[in-house]
Structure 1
Amino acid sequence: MTGYPYRTVFVWGAVLALFWLAACSPWSVAWNLGIGTAVALVACIALAAATRRIRAGRAASRQVLSAMDSALRTLPGNIRRNTPLVLAVGESSGVLARAFGNDVVHVTDVAIWVRVEDPVQLKYIADALKRWREGQGPDAVAYLVDTDSTVDAATLTAATLRWRTAVDETSRAVGYALPVCVAVYAAESAVSQLPCPWFGLSGVLPSQRSALTDQIAASALAHARWVAQGERARWAYRVAQLDAAARWAAGALLPGLTDSGRGTRSVNLVAFGVTAAQGAVSSDSLVGHYANAITGLKQPSLTAAHARLPLPDALLRGIALQPMQHPLPRALAHAFVGLAVALCAAAGASAWQNRALVARIQANMMRYQAVPPEHDAARSDALSALRRDRTELERYARSGLPPRLSLGFYRAGALLPTLNTLIASYQPPEPPPPMIELNGLSLFKTGNAQLNPGSNRVMFGALEMIKAHPDKRVLVAGHTDSTGNPANNMKLSEARAASVRDWLADASGIPLSHFAIQGYGDTRPKAPNDTDAGRAANRRVEITLIPDCRSDGTTARATHSPPGQPACSFE
């Protein structure tokens, strides 16, 4: 709008937000994609709105800028910065037509006056003029009021509210509260040779409107000493007209501009004045009704030629020129603020994620240390998590930290030695107890527990296994099929286990106390008993090596001891 690079700032903000989401965000990928899409959509909408506003401003101000160039072409180059530039608006188009004629721009000895008839275009024209003056915005807005043309209070109130809203929007657009000057024209029908100056105040106005109008009336009366003796009666009548117009405007017009509670900010009123202008005097105007109410005299409606209204140059004396406001430093400041906010957000996200990383690794270490060695499956899972953590930390040490962790809050590197120590301390569990299965058909006859002749060849493998592990206890378990009585099958399986034990003890020279026997009968089939092949598979003898007992009476790997009588009960 004012030479300020809105679109560039929008793009910069969107880039910072997207970079933060891509590199620093602690949220999930789905959340980042959703928020990133929303950011891109908002940026596109903002760019489209800014582009549309710039184009609308150019279209609205093209005629004004062309008129400015034509009016000021012959004037010195610094006129645009050293001369007050005032936007003239009115409660009706008629007052602007009487003040400007057909001109859009009027240059006086005091100011450059620019005519604005549409409240919607006020902000665009003000913006264009600020760029035309290279960062120096308009110095004031002059609100011109022709008292005798206002005959409807509702119309006046609506017009005042529209201009108040337009001035508020324009002030936001140019970046400062535009000073507002209210100029009131009191119509007089008689052609007078007495020039009428502006009576009013400029600069700091009194808070009480009655004090404002009293000072204007006092100034008008004091001016009588400069009036010729023969004109003082007419001047007194003029003073009464000026006083009525000023008091009416102060009571009917200024509240609509300055009172709060209308949805917009009150205008920055810095000047108020009244003058007499030749025109039609109507008793039906609002001022006529007001004058009749306070004086009791009804003015006749008189018609006179409409002279050109003088622009209120005198009311600009208390209004200072606006300083130069280059948009680039402000845009750079906003870009720097956006960068600072992004860095703070990135630092906060980095600190949060570093803390979460350390907490996760410490939790994995505590979980690993809390699992007892005999629960090897859970211990292996915990060890896998430690190895993943170590791989992650080693990758960071080797390749550098990702942006989400690399803002000075990284503390997980100190945990790497502890991870290495815990991983190195892991001892894999002892292998399951060796077991040899002997086919019962090759060892015994049906229903018999005596070893068949030549069955020792079948048991040589078991004998070699026992001799290779002299530190292990030996469990001999007998099994039968489901044929016959279960109680007899249980006794038969135990007797067969005892026969095998006796042979192994005798052949190996190992004491019988190193062996244990167990009969299971048909309670643990390995195949269905409804077929010959299944029943043959179930008639078996299993020889299992079990770790020796510890001093505390527990096995070294109790979890891997086979069902049945534990090795520690051999004695």
Structure 2
Amino acid sequence: MLAWMAALSLGWLALSSPLDTTWNWLFAGCVVTAVAVAIVLVGRRARARRDAAAAVLAAIDASLAALPGDIRSNTALVLVLGDSPDTLTRAFGDAVVRITDAAIWVRIDASDRLAEVAAVLKQWRLGQGPEAVACLVSADQAEVSSTVSPAPSPALSPAMATTLWQWRSTIGAASRAVGYPLPACLAIQTAEADGPSDDCPWFQIATTPQGGDMLDALALQLASYAAQVQPADRAARMYRGARLAALARWTIDTVLPALQQDQPDRRHAGPPLSLWACAVIATAGAPVAGSRLTMYVTRQTSLAPQTRDGRRAAFPLPDALARGLAVRHAQSVLPRALAHGFAWLCVAFCAAAAASAWQNRALVARVMADMAHYETLTVERDAARRDALAVLRRDREELDRHARNGVPVRLALGFYRGGTLREPLARLIDGYQPPPPPPATIELDSLSLFRSGSATLNPGSNRVLIGALDMIKAHPDKRVLVAGHTDSTGNAQANVRLSEARAASVRDWLADAAALPLTHFAVQGYGATRPKASNDTVAGRAANRRVEITLVPDCRDARGGDPATPGHPACSFPSKE
């Protein structure tokens, strides 16, 4: 199960995780480490259980070696706890296992090992766990009272109370270890010095009725028991019955509440026990005079305590009670493991579906945000439009790849919606139109800007330059070439200087009006070297006197160089012929 959970976790991280690759590797390392540690701990726990139950398993194998093979599965297996080592010794002697007609009785010397032994015995019986736990109580143990007079209170001694609370805790732990609640059988024994010649049977106390109903049912059993003999033995049986009735009341008033009721002052105690049987019996032996039970029985019955010394008889196992104990069926671990594996698979699928839904939502939101951003850009912001268009093309390539190669697992599981975005993406990309190219040249008549032979702008020349200024502002990414031209009248060198001076004047006005640095402009004086018309006519000479303003690409955009030196042509500006 641990390996299966680790495989599901690593598969989710590899195929469905929305996290970054670094985080995926980090979590994968944590998963592998945690599972490795858990496997080591589970292995140690299993070895500890096997070691704790090794002696019990060896004794069971030795005891069952000579019996038929089906005895293991057809006979009830009962784990036996005792309130003291002496109680278990009187019940088992030196043996660990006793086999009777009704059950296989397994001795548990340390109650804190009950869970380990129960789990290992379930494996030994191939999935068929123990049927019950029997709790043996020697009621008249040496619980010497601090008072001289008989104690009227039926309260438990601290040692007995601690033992009962430990049984609740250990039986609860054993129930969790085997996977089902283990029923408990409470067998309480008292000693009698002078009893009838026959052996005393077990007298059962009902565990479902309360108070007087229990005692009334027991009284009927004791009356029937006393009436079944000759008058010579009837007195001894009546004496035994009175003591057993007092023992039953003591059990109902003290022992059963400690096992079956919540104990707010004992939080470490386990859950209340489910008793399938509770019985009392009297055996040969002398009761301890100072025990709480002896004093309680004396107070309840007014019978003199029996204090004669004598050897205590063996503690008979409650074989008669075990005859009605149903044998459990073997439970294979495979169906339970498959159920747990399927449950974890469902959890992993839900986690993968949640991750897929989240990533598909993020994909749709991202593509739609890219499309909305592109649509907000106007034609004048063509550079930003081209950048947004490149993002849209990457989005379309991603969606086309999903359509061509299949949707990846992280986006699949029925949540993929990227296919519906391909068509609107294609429409936006195919609908892109570059802005119209800027006019190649704006030509200005020199006579409208300057007086004859002057390079100073006329006062009314602003209106003529407004069109050129608007063109420059509309294309801030272009550099500006201002070229001056003259006719052929006069000295050629003087004409070149005049044309360059006029270009510089126009350049200065445009730079100031557009708030652009002078490095954004270049000036060129051509004189009469580039006529548009013949200089032989008045109209031709007027056409040749002009200033041309041209937008050209910035050489720094293509070559990453420095801007052109002010007053000189840029690398992309036309040069003199």
Q: Same fold (TM over 0.5)?
A: yes
Structure 1 residues not aligned, in runs of 5+: 1-8, 437-445, 463-474, 482-495, 519-535, 546-571
Aligned pair 1:166/2:170, yes or no? yes
**2:185 corresponds to which residue?**
181
Structure 1 residues 417 and 509, CA, compared in 2 at 3 Å: closer, same or farther? farther
Residue identity opposite 1:229 in structure 2: P
Residue identity opposite 1:187 in structure 2: A
Aligned pair 1:77/2:60, yes or no? no
**1:90 corresponds to which residue?**
82
Structure 2 residues not aligned, in runs of 5+: 145-156, 443-452, 457-484, 510-522, 550-563
Deviations 1:315-351 (A, max 9, x none): 1244322122111111111111111221122122212
Aligned pair 1:190/2:194, yes or no? yes
Native 8 Å contact 1:498 1:517 kept in 2 = no
Structure 1 residues 416 and 252, CA, compared in 2 at 3 Å: closer, same or farther? same
Structure 1 Cα separation of the partners of residues 504 and 139 of structure 2 = 124
Native 8 Å contact 1:188 1:279 kept in 2 = yes
Native 8 Å contact 1:122 1:167 kept in 2 = yes
Residue identity opposite 2:416 in structure 1: Y
TM-score (norm 2): 0.75
Structure 1 residues 406 and 479, CA, compared in 2 at 3 Å: closer, same or farther? closer
Q: Number of residues paired by the alignment?
A: 482
Q: How do 1:132-143 and structure 2 match up within 5 A?
A: 132-143=124-135
Structure 1 residues 336 and 403, CA, compared in 2 at 3 Å: closer, same or farther? same
Structure 2 Cα separation of the partners of residues 230 and 457 of structure 1 = 163
Structure 1 residues 59 and 537, CA, compared in 2 at 3 Å: closer, same or farther? closer
Residue identity opposite 1:234 in structure 2: A
Deviation (angstroms), 1:63: 0.8
Aligned pair 1:320/2:326, yes or no? yes
Deviation (angstroms), 1:382: 1.9
Q: RMSD value over aligned CA atoms?
A: 3.8
Report the secondary structure of 1:404's partner residue: helix
Q: How do 1:125-524 and structure 2 match up within 5 A?
A: 125-149=117-141, 151=143, 153-190=157-194, 192-201=196-205, 205-261=207-263, 262-263=266-267, 264-297=270-303, 299-430=305-436, 453-454=491-492, 478-479=506-507
Native 8 Å contact 2:199 2:283 kept in 1 = no
Structure 2 Cα separation of the partners of residues 115 and 293 of structure 1 = 35
Structure 1 residues 510 and 433, CA, compared in 2 at 3 Å: closer, same or farther? farther
Structure 1 residues 207 and 480, CA, compared in 2 at 3 Å: closer, same or farther? same
Structure 2 Cα separation of the partners of residues 196 and 36 of structure 1 = 67
Structure 1 residues 368 and 243, CA, compared in 2 at 3 Å: closer, same or farther? same
Structure 1 residues 212 and 478, CA, compared in 2 at 3 Å: closer, same or farther? same
Report the secondary structure of 1:149's partner residue: coil
Structure 1 residues 497 and 22, CA, compared in 2 at 3 Å: closer, same or farther? closer
**1:442 corresponds to which residue?**
none
Structure 2 Cα separation of the partners of residues 324 and 260 of structure 1 = 32
Deviation (angstroms), 1:136: 0.9
**2:104 corresponds to which residue?**
112
Report the secondary structure of 1:57's partner residue: helix
Structure 1 residues 498 and 252, CA, compared in 2 at 3 Å: closer, same or farther? same
Structure 1 Cα separation of the partners of residues 334 and 316 of structure 2 = 39
Deviation (angstroms), 1:66: 0.8
Native 8 Å contact 2:244 2:282 kept in 1 = yes
Report the secondary structure of 2:227's partner residue: helix
Structure 2 Cα separation of the partners of residues 510 and 24 of structure 1 = 79
Mean Cα deviation higher: 24-33 or 48-57: 24-33
Residue identity opposite 2:299 in structure 1: A
Structure 1 residues 136 and 499, CA, compared in 2 at 3 Å: closer, same or farther? closer
Deviation (angstroms), 1:142: 0.3
**1:521 corresponds to which residue?**
none
Native 8 Å contact 1:148 1:285 kept in 2 = yes
Q: State, as a whole percentage, how many aligned pairs show the same letter.
A: 41
Deviations 1:277-335 (A, max 9, x none): 12231121121132233345552433211221110011124432212211111111111
Deviation (angstroms), 1:539: 5.2
Structure 1 residues 270 and 455, CA, compared in 2 at 3 Å: closer, same or farther? farther
Native 8 Å contact 1:479 1:540 kept in 2 = no
Deviation (angstroms), 1:95: 0.7
TM-score (norm 1): 0.76
Structure 2 Cα separation of the partners of residues 427 and 169 of structure 1 = 78
